[in-house]
């Protein structure tokens, strides 16, 4: 019922924005008697399109405020259930990079995950990943530090 929407929310920032816009819609539902389409004009075009398509696909009667409210509350609840994968990388990711990472996560871990991507240039390359209490530093900086530590005597002798 919510998989189309959840499958297109890839990052924590997108989830936060989408959740805020759902709150706007829910609040608007009970303020006036306008039609649902007018409420959708209050949020971003992309998110409005996602909600519109999901409503049609799930046969949500957009004239029934209670039905719309229940659906939107359900989406919010599912957003809260998403598991976060924190990824630190050395570059500002493009949308294509985010899509590739998200696709890999979805294929390997299944749906129900979002990415919390941060940029830390000092790691030089690769990534640091935190997920479900586990931490894995696969950064180039860490590899170079380990190499230097193992071979520091040899390096000092040469200089």
- Count the domains in the chain: 2
Where is the domain boundary, 34, 53, 80?
80
**CA dist list (Å): 67 to 37, 60, 62, 73, 78:** 15, 7, 8, 10, 17
Which pLDDT does position 79 carry in this prediction? 96
Say whether both 12 and 24 belong to one domain: yes
Say whether both 87 and 129 belong to one domain: yes
Which pLDDT does position 83 carry in this prediction? 97
Write out residues in the chain with pLDDT < 70, as ranges: 32-34
Say whether both 57 and 111 belong to one domain: no
Say whether both 20 and 50 belong to one domain: yes
Say whether both 67 and 136 belong to one domain: no
Decide if 36 contacts 72 (C-beta within 8 A).
no
pTM of the complete model: 0.85
Which pLDDT does position 157 carry in this prediction? 84
Which pLDDT does position 62 carry in this prediction? 86
Say whether both 100 and 153 belong to one domain: yes
Q: How far is CA 114 from the centre of its chain?
A: 4
The helix (run of H) or strand (run of E) holding residue 136 is strand 134-137
Say whether both 33 and 50 belong to one domain: yes
Say whether both 90 and 117 belong to one domain: yes
Which pLDDT does position 158 carry in this prediction? 81
What residues make up the domain containing 124? 83-158
- For the sheet with 83-89, list strands across it: 113-119, 83-89, 127-131, 134-137
Which pLDDT does position 34 carry in this prediction? 67
Which pLDDT does position 123 carry in this prediction? 96
């Amino acid at each position: 019922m919510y998989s189309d929407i959840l499958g297109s929310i890839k990052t924590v920032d997108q989830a936060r924005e989408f959740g805020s816009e759902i709150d706007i819609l829910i609040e608007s539902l009970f303020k006036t008697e306008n039609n649902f389409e007018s409420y959708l004009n209050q949020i971003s075009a992309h998110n409005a399109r996602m909600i519109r398509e999901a409503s049609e696909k799930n046969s949500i009667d957009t004239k029934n405020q209670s039905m719309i409210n229940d659906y939107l509350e359900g989406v919010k609840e599912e957003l809260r259930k998403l598991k976060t994968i924190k990824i630190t990388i050395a570059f500002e990711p493009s949308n294509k990079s985010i899509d590739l990472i998200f696709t890999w996560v979805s294929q390997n871990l299944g749906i129900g995950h979002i990415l919390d991507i941060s940029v830390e240039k000092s790691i030089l390359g690769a990534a640091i990943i935190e997920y479900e209490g586990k931490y894995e530093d696969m950064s180039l900086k860490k590899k170079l530090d380990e190499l230097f530590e193992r071979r520091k005597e040899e390096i000092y002798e040469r200089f």
